[in-house]
Amino acid sequence: MNWPKTLNILKKCLKNFHLASLLAPTDLRIFHIFSQYLGQLNLGALVIEGKTKAVYDIVDSPGHVLLQNKDRITAGDGARAHDMVGKAAISTATTVAIFELLTNAGIKTHFVRQESDTSFVGIKCAMIPIEWVTRRIATGSFLKRNEGVKEGYRFSPPKQETFFKDDANHDPQWSYEQCVAAKLEVGGIQIGPHELDIMARTTVTVFEILERCWAALDCSLIDMKIEFGVNPETGEILLSDVIDSDSWRLWPAGDRRLMKDKQVYRELAEVTPEALDTIKRNFEWVAERVKLLSPKPHARAVVFMGSASDMPHCEKIRDSCKLYGVPCELRVSSAHKGTDETMKILAEYEGEGIPTVFIAVAGRSNGLGPVLSGNATWPVINCPPLSGDWGSHDIWSSMRLPSGLGCSTVMYPEAAGQCAAQILSLSDHIIWSKIRAKQLNTWIGLKTADRKCRKDK
């Protein structure tokens, strides 16, 4: 064995996992020993290699794969392809930030963790060979396929299209019915209407979430392509592959001329080193901004309870807020018996300038909510802990308000947390994303329960 050469390759392999495939079997064994020694992954067989990345088994973690990005840019089903040093790291940074954002929102994805500058670990999936495209604005290939439609036409809800992944035939568009007719067998399940409906709805939800997030940075997400895989161990459909500057059209300030995506590469009359450099800088611009899409929450709910005995009710409100990522503080203050304290606490919260929804919890005669509402500029939600005997009478003290007040009333603590989250989501896209993803998961849960109940018949 040529030791210096082997060591050299090993070092490179540890930096770029995909080079491991160049090693001879003996060297590969040494690579694995080296990897373990240095706390690196022990890579197994190459599962699949595509145009922009290679996917490897991970020896010690059978259900997982390493997705290794390449320094390569391609377009037109690979007809145009160039090396671009640094692209793998830029793509990885973008994909990792986007998948963390989506996973945190509640979307089910294959993403596990970032492994290196140029790679990440995902759940090993059997991939569904369909590209799922969502469009807000008509542009590009849509205009060619739909003669007469003007560029800029706005789809509401977003337009959803499917393309069969087949480079040799230029990824033909498939209708819903064609997708059903194909009866694709993937990861132990057949892809039928149930699975297609779930993917279609997830696709639109993912688009809406990323559109809303980019809007916070004054960038318009115009359209986007994603892929799904099946986790063969659970049969679950997961958002897979990558989402990076290859996946979407992104127009800063909604201006097509400022586009920061791969379209710039597609449209080049001639691919010069300078043009490739501009594209790389665009991608870097995106990778840096993508990190700003997940800011810490700048919103909160504050629950005022008239008595500490209301604590269990208020804890349910706090749990509900948590589901939506809304920080929630609990305070004890009676507007009847400690009016000065109630006003002082209110002034402290309003003075901090963090957008806040106040939730008033007071049994019997609810003076707390209306008093807060009469003095606060921010929204107040009454959520009285209703007692069985007097509940239907007590509720009127929250609802029959003096003129000039605008507090609302909900009966259930879960609803109070959700209502606060929905108000705060007006200015916080992360909270909004969690609400959207939760609605999707509820919809999928109902649809799956319906199918089970029909199967059980």
Ligand X SMILES: Nc1ncnc2c1ncn2[C@@H]1O[C@H](COP(=O)(O)OP(=O)(O)O)[C@@H](O)[C@H]1O
Residue 276: C-alpha distances to residues 265, 283, 423 (Å) = 8, 11, 44
Tokens read off for 217: 């940075």
User: Which residues sit at the interface with ligand X, rule CB under 6 A?
Assistant: 47-48, 50-53, 55, 65, 67, 110, 122-125, 127, 227, 229, 240-241
Token pair for 91: 């793509």
| Smaller CB separation from ligand X, 127 or 328 | 127
What minimum distance in Å lies between the beta carbon of 100 and ligand X? 16
Query: Nearest Cα to 294, choosing from 111, 113, 88, 103?
Result: 103
Q: Cα-Cα-Cα-Cα dihedral of 333, 339, 343, 344, to 10°?
A: -70
- Interatomic CA distance for residues 78 and 305, integer angstroms: 63
The Cα 98–Cα 193 span in angstroms is 28
Nearer to ligand X, 229 or 325 (CB): 229
Helix (H, G, I), strand (E, B) or coil at 47: strand
Tell me the residue number closest to ligand X, measured at CB.
50
Which lies closer to ligand X via its Cβ, residue 88 or residue 276?
Answer: 88
Contact of 385 with 361, CB cutoff 8 Å: yes
**Which residue, 50 or 140, is less far from ligand X as judged by CB?**
50
Termini Cα distance of the chain? 66
> Pairing state of beta strands 248-252 and 328-332?
unpaired
Nearer to ligand X, 203 or 409 (CB): 203
Smallest distance from ligand X to CB 112, Å: 9
Q: How far is CA 298 from the centre of its chain?
A: 19
Give the whole-angstrom CA distance, residue 220 versus residue 211. Answer: 7
Q: How far apart are CA 108 and CA 448, in angstroms?
A: 15
Cβ proximity of 136 and 142 under 8 Å: no
Which residue's CB is nearer to ligand X, number 158 or number 229? Answer: 229
Question: Shortest approach of ligand X to residue 132 CB, angstroms?
Answer: 12
Strand partners, 113: 121
Task: Tell me how far apart the alpha carbons of residues 81 and 73 are, in angstroms, rounded to a whole number.
Answer: 6
The torsion of the CA quartet 58, 59, 63, 66, rounded to 10 degrees, works out to: 0
CB of 42 to ligand X, least distance (A): 18
Q: How far is the CB of 288 from ligand X (least distance, A)?
A: 23
Residue 229 or 417: which CB sits closer to ligand X?
A: 229
* Smaller CB separation from ligand X, 64 or 256: 64
CB of 286 to ligand X, least distance (A): 18
